[in-house]
Chain A
Amino acid sequence: MSFNSYLFVFCILPLTSLIFSWAKKSSTQKFCAVLAGASLIIYSAFEKSSPTLLMSTIILNYFFIRSQIALIIAIPINVFILVLFKYIFSNFSVFSFIPLGLSFFIFQQISAVIDQSKKSKDDKPLSFFHYMAYVCFYPQLIAGPIMRLSDFLGQLRERSHPYEIKTTVALCFIIIGLFKKVVIADSVLNYIEPHLTMVQNLKDLNFWTIWNVNVWYVIAIYEDFSGYSEMAVGIGMLIGINLPQNFNSPFRQTNLAHLWRNWHITISLFIRDYLYLPLQKKMNRNSALFVSIFLLSIWHGPTLNFAFFGIYQGMGVLFLRVWSKNKKARCYSHLAHLITLVFFISSLPLFYVKSNDLSSLKVFIAQFQFTNISKVPLLEMLVIIFFFLFFKMAPNTYEYLTLKNKRIRFDYSLFDAVFISLLFLMVIAFLQQSRGYIYFEF
C-alpha cells in the first residue's frame, strides 16, 4: 500500500478519518492510543516497513526521556541506529532494504529527546501514548514534515476548531497533493526515465541531454515531494493536527540560501536547530554552515555522489554569503533568480547519478561542455519555461488554500469546485499507473 493508491485514498483514508473523528470526542489519552494504534497498522501495511524497529526506537527513546539520560548518550545511540541500518546493513546486504521512514522517525525522536531534556523536573511527565502517537502519527511518519513534540502536544490540547471548514481545506490539500504526485511528477518521471537511465549509465553525455534530464528531474522531485507533503498536511488536518509547511515556492527565490530555506523546510529547521546552531558555538559560522549542508547531503545515501553534492551546495551557499557582504555586488532580482535556478539545477547530476566512483562528477562536468549544442529541443524548452514561469508567478497550494494570495484564492466558488473536481478526476484516472514516492528511498 502507499498514499497514492486506490486502497488508501478510497478506503483507508475515509475509514481512519471516521475513526479519528469519533476518537476525538474521548479523552486525549484514548485519542492518542487510537491514533498510535491505527498509525502503526497503516505503517505495517506499507512495503519495506519495519514496525519492530519503529516500536523499539519509541520504547528506547521514551525511556531516555523519562529517565532523563544525558543527551551525550541518547543522541549517539539514535545516530548509531540510523547509520547502522542506512549505511552499514544496506551495504553488506544484512537487510535487503532500508526500513521505511527510518530517517524521519529517528530525526523526530532526536528532536523530542533534546526538547524534553530542556524541561524542568516539575513539568507534567510525558505519557507513553502521547509520545507514541507523536512518533507514529502516520501522515508524517514516512517522509515528514518533521513536527516538534511541543507543537504536537499543544495541538492535542486544543482539538476544537470549526471542523467543516478544515475538512474542505484538508480534502483540497489532499487532492492537490495527489495531483502533483500522480499526474505531474509521475508523468514527468515516465517521460524522462529512458534519458535519465542513459545519463546514469554515462551514455550520450551532451549538453542538451544532461540539462534536459536535470530540469525535468528537478520538476519531478519537487512535485513528488511537495505533493506528498501537502497530502500529509491535508490528512493531518482531517485528523485535527496541523503539520508544518514543508515547501514554500523554492523556485521563486532569488538566492540559494533562500531556496534551501524554502525546500524541505522542516528538515532545514531541524538541521539549523540541532546541528548548525550548536556547531556555531564551537567553530566559525561558515564552517558550521558548510558542515551542516554537507551532513544534510550525505544523509540522502551512502554513495560518494551525495558527498560531492554537499560540497557543491555548501560552496554555493558560502560564496553567496561572502558575495552578499559586499554591498556593491548587487544583482537584479530576475538575474539573481536565474543564477540561483541554474546553480541549483546544475548540481543535480551529483544527486541522481548514484555511484561510489567519479561517475556523477563526469556527468556534472559534461553538462558544461557544449557538445551537440546545435540540436536545440525547442518544444521541451518551451514546456520547461512554462513550468518555471508557473512556479514563479502562480500561488503555491498554501497561498491558494489559506487565502494568502489576493488574486487567486480559494473562496468556495463554482470556479474552485470545477477546478478541484477536474484535478480529482485526473487523479482517479492516473492513480493506477502511479509510482512510488522518490523520498521514501531516503
Chain B
Amino acid sequence: MSSRKILTFWISFGALTGFCLLTMIVFNFYYDPSDSIQGREQGEALLFAKRLKNEEFGVQRPKGLSVVKEALLDISKPQCVVLGTSQVYWLGSTPFEITPHCNEKTMINMSLPGLGFDELVLFANTARINRAPVVFLTVPFYLYSWNNSQRWPPSYRSQFQKSFVAFGLESPMDHFFSLIDQRLRYLISYQTLLSSFKLFFLKVAKDYPNSLDYQPLSRSVSIKNPNLGALLPNGAVIWKEKDYLELALSNQAEYQSFFNEVQSVIGDWTLEKPIIKQIEDREWLLKIKLLVQVLSENGQRVILYIPPLDTDFLMTKGDKNMIDFLQSYESQVIRLGQETGAEVRGGVSLCRSDEFYDGLHPKIDCLEKAIKTNSHNPPRDG
C-alpha cells in the first residue's frame, strides 16, 4: 500500500472526525442542557432540566437545591435543620415532630437526592452558620460510593471550600480538578447531544417555557397506584422498582397508563432507581465525626439518623454480603453516637418491605417509626 494512500486516509479521517467533534462540542456548549458548563446557578437551565433524560448529570439535584434556597429565605431562624437524602424528603410535610418544636413550620429540610459527602459538608456548614438548635444529620450508607461523583457547577466552588475549612477537612480541590474532566466528558457525550437537540427543537417549535412559570411543587402529587410510586415535593419520583418491572412486562396497557400519568405530571424527568454500592472510603466515619464535633462545639444538638432500608429487596439487587455490610454500617454509626455524645435514631431493619416505595425510600409510617426509634442513646434534655 502506498504511503500516499495511507496519508490521504488519515487526513480524511482526521478532518471528518475533527469537524464532527468540534461541531458537537460547540453545539453542546451553546445549549448546555444541564447547566454544567456555563454555571448559571438556577434560572432557565433548571427549567429545561426537567425536560431532559440525562441521568449522568442528575437533573433533579439543581432543582433540589432551589428548594433548599427558598426554604432558607423563608425561615431565617429555624428550630431545626434536616440534612439528608431523598429518604428524608417527607420530613417537613409530615404531621409528627422530630423533637419538641421541630415541625413543618420551624424546620428547614435540606435533603437532596443522592447526597454526596461534599454536599453534606456544604449544608452542614449552612446549618452551623444558621445556628439552628437541632441538626438532624442523616448518615446514608452509600456515602463515598458512586453518588459522590455527582458534581456541582463551578460557581459553588468557593462555598464548598469554605465549608471544608470550617470543619477542618481537607479541601476538595481534587474534585474540582476532575470537574474539568467531567465537563469535557459532558461536552462530548451522546446523552448531552440528545438533550441539546431536544432543546434546539423546542426553541424552533417555540415550546420554550418562560422562566417565570417555574413553581416548585409544594406537596406530593397522587398517582393512581400509591404503591407503585410517588412524586416528591421537590419533583423526584420514586417507585417500587420490582413492581414497576413486573407491571411493565406483564401488563403493557396498565403500565402505559401509569407511565402516561407520571409523564403528564413530570414531563420527561429522570426517574430514580436504587443503585447499591459499598462504601469504598473507610475513613468516612472519621469525617462525619468531625462534622458532629464542630456542630456540638457550636452549641447545636446533633441527632444522627440511620435511614431504614428494605433489606429483602436490597439482597436481591445488591451484593451477597449486603446484609453483613449494612449491619456493620449501623453499628459504626451507633458507635459514632456513643463517642460524640450524639443521639442516634432510626435503624436499618425497622420496617417491612411493604412500608417502602422501593429499596431505599420509606413511606410515611415507616419514616415516623424510624424517627421515633431511639434505643441506642438516651436523648438529652431540650
Contacts and interface: CB of A to CB of B under 8 A. Distances in A.
A168 interface: yes
Interface of chain A, helix or strand or loop or mixed?
A: helix
A209 B193 contact: no
Contacts of A6: 181, 185
A417 B21 contact: no
Interface stretch (A30-38, A198-206, A345-353): A198-206
Interface stretch (A138-146, A329-337, A423-431): A423-431
A198 B3 contact: no
Contact of B190 (A96, A420, A421, A430): A430
Interface stretch (B12-20, B38-46, B204-212, B333-341): B12-20
A280 interface: no
B1 interface: yes
B17 A421 contact: yes
Contacts of B177: none
A412 B6 contact: yes
A interface bracket (residues with beta carbon within 8 Å of B) = 20 to 34
Interface string A126-159: 0000000000000000000000000000000000
A417 B321 contact: no
B249 A164 contact: no
Interface in B13-50: 13, 16-17, 20-21, 24
B21 A198 contact: no
Interface string A403-442: 0000000011110111011101110111011000000000
A203 B189 contact: no
B24 A429 contact: yes
A164 B9 contact: no
Contacts of B181: 6
Contact of A433 (B8, B10, B56, B321): B56
Nearest to A93: B321
Contacts of A165: 1, 6
Given A417-B13, A418-B12, A432 B185 contact: yes
A66 B250 CA distance: 63
B190 A203 contact: no
Interface in B183-227: 185, 188-191, 193
B254 to A, nearest CB: 14
A429 B13 contact: no
Contacts of A201: 316
A426 B16 CA distance: 13
B174 to A, nearest CB: 15
Contact of B20 (A209, A417, A420, A421): A421
A152 to B, nearest CB: 27
A195 interface: yes
Contact of B13 (A164, A411, A420): A420
Contacts of B1: 165, 411-412
Interface of B: 1, 3, 5-6, 8-10, 12-13, 16-17, 20-21, 24, 56, 181, 185, 188-191, 193, 245-246, 248-250, 316, 321
25 contacts: A96-B321, A164-B3, A168-B9, A194-B248, A195-B249, A198-B245, A201-B316, A411-B1, A412-B8, A413-B9, A417-B9, A417-B10, A417-B13, A418-B12, A421-B12, A424-B17, A425-B17, A426-B190, A429-B24, A429-B188, A432-B188, A432-B189, A433-B56, A433-B190, A433-B191
